[in-house]
Chain A
């Protein structure tokens, strides 16, 4: 059950299912949003002829023109700040931040302005701005290119945070985020840009802020968002071989969190392991662990366990596989949870 209904884009008429990588699914979603609403604009660094460093916007400037797919000057505060002004003028800007670690020059505009302007203006201004953030590790990149900064934004009232884990979700969720009248931080798990998955162009979108059970089980619940969901699916396979039935939940929305399916699952399994690439201290996983402890205390057979990145700076790429939780790290926590 989802806590919030978001108006979903209309189902497309043609019955069409295609196997696409997430980057191309996002491209298709952005193209659809640009075609559906002339007020939608894309803004960012290198998103024009280059199509973005991950090619998510490839071909869109040629199709929709330079006024709607805008190669901006290289300044993140400027990108977010001008997007705010455009939103005040009735536009729906979609900003691309090139890499997770480059979002901080825009942090002030996001947290002090974008997140608060609807409230400050007494509701006079909606802020239908999407900030797309490629995030996370597993790509062997240099410093500032592999981070998971979502907790900074989850702490800020006025923002919504989502992260798709599959190409199909990416296609639909980007359109729902653009249709939202609130600012949406759209975290794209960059290590999942390339693996292919089925995109159902004729389907209907799940509500933007709904969490979803993606594998059913009875002994332990595993919860994550973004790229970590595929790690949980590997862990669930390993667990099954060891005779442990793991249920896997794809969080999808980091703010607000759709607790319904999570509490339902924990009520059944009695155990919860929350996994994330981000450092664990004051993280989204910590918040969920605390809330599940409050709401499902009598169902729990073990403390909620967190599997996170270490509380260090993201290490040099040669150490990233040690920093990032893998299926074995998840299983270590599953074993501990089962031992209670």
Chain B
């Protein structure tokens, strides 16, 4: 397994504060965290874990064509998402439900996307959506969009001004499979060339559907960016504190004009790639059990309990997570299909004769059946 290389870790698998040597330079970033922040870390991880379970249930009950689980990757996602500032932009792949939740997305939008009601689901330009961009299903394509966006921030003059409320970065998530895509390598080339404020956050969950990461790379993936001139670090992605501290530092570096950064978070997809997948055909049980024992939520609960957090808090979070899932369920069951004519909307930004003609044709065609029934 590729996690034998030195990684940044603050919490041991047993939830004890035991920073590795490589964690030293990141320790000061933990000083920014209040006790309430720590409770928020746990709360968001637990809510998304429950949301994810509800998504799986709803898919199995026919409410969605597909579900994309995030189970097991909550630590990597929640820590990094909390490290981002409001003015930062986030380019997810399609499994970053926790990041979306923290940035303000209504999680029902993810359901609508995977149900087949939309191709997108939320408006990234709506300020309430926290600059959280759309999911991109072509693996790795969005790494270039994130790079281009960061080139735009440079031209806007909001990088390296020294004003903490102005300087912005672009945080881009992708997985181990994506590192084999040319677009990710091209994103490294363009971001290094322009010294853009990008932080590329790789969640190495060890599997690209059924193909192990060893097929993607013979070297640890955090080394990949260094040949492009992009500094990198490998972290224990199931340690939410490591994810937070390392992301905070590298986002700071990116915002301050130090150019692109690369983080490899070692984590594991506990469940299937999607609801269409069957991991029993390829999963290694020993590896699976190893990672289950490193669960980010259980580990962090142990840590919080060691700090004195009691049952009351954990019970409250459990109830909140149940309520969250129930709300998603109720609203999912109330969803209606999109109106047929919306197919022709927003294909272009400006009026287009073919869209107008075909929209009209479909309306007349549908009306013929209504007349027959009448």
Binding site for B on A (CB under 8 A): 3-6, 41, 67, 72-73, 75, 77-78, 80-91, 105, 108-109, 112-113, 116-128, 157-158, 160, 180-182, 256
Contact = CB atoms under 8 A, between A and B. Distances in A.
B353 A4 contact: yes
A118 B144 contact: no
The 3 closest A-B pairs by CB, nearest first: A85-B148, A81-B144, A89-B152
A198 B334 CA distance: 63
B144 A85 contact: yes
A215 to B, nearest CB: 25
Given A78-B186, A112-B141, A85 B350 contact: no
Given A85-B147, A91-B155, 9 more contacts: A75-B186, A75-B189, A78-B186, A81-B147, A85-B145, A87-B148, A89-B149, A109-B183, A119-B119
A157 B118 contact: no
Nearest to A2: B353
Contacts of B144: 77-78, 80-82, 84-85, 109
A121 B156 contact: no
9 contacts: A3-B353, A75-B190, A78-B183, A82-B145, A82-B148, A85-B151, A86-B148, A86-B149, A119-B347
A80 B123 CA distance: 22
Contacts of B20: none
Nearest to A126: B349
Nearest to B170: A85
Nearest to B343: A119
Interface string B147-162: 1111111111000000
A286 to B, nearest CB: 17
A256 B356 CA distance: 12
Contacts of B231: none
Contacts of A67: 154-155
Main DSSP-derived SS at the B contact region: helix
A6 B152 contact: no
A85 B346 contact: no
A81 B183 contact: yes
Contacts of A4: 350-353
Nearest to B147: A82
B148 A83 contact: yes
Contacts, number: 142
Contacts of B156: 89
A167 to B, nearest CB: 26
B178 interface: no
A126 B145 CA distance: 14
A181 B189 contact: no
B187 interface: yes
Interface string B121-147: 001111000000110101001011111
B151 A113 contact: no
Contacts of B120: 120-122, 124
Given A4-B352, A118-B348, A256-B353, A81 B148 contact: yes
Contacts of B193: 72-73
Nearest to B154: A67
Nearest to A84: B145
Contacts of A157: 347
Contact of B146 (A3, A85, A113, A124): A85
B351 A124 contact: no
B24 interface: no
**Among A5, A6, A84, A85, which residue has the most Cβ atoms of chain B within 10 A?**
A85
A95 B303 CA distance: 52
B151 A112 contact: no
A124 B186 CA distance: 26
Nearest to B198: A85
B182 interface: yes
A1 to B, nearest CB: 11
Given A82-B147, A121-B124, A158 B348 contact: yes
A88 B149 contact: yes
A35 to B, nearest CB: 17
Contacts of B183: 77-78, 81, 108-109
Contacts of B347: 118-119, 157-158
Contact of B153 (A80, A81, A89, A109): A89
B131 to A, nearest CB: 10
A125 B190 contact: no
Contacts of A91: 152, 155
B354 interface: yes
B349 A127 contact: yes
A125 B125 CA distance: 8
Contact of B124 (A80, A125, A180): A125
B25 interface: no
A67 B151 CA distance: 9
Contacts of A85: 144-152
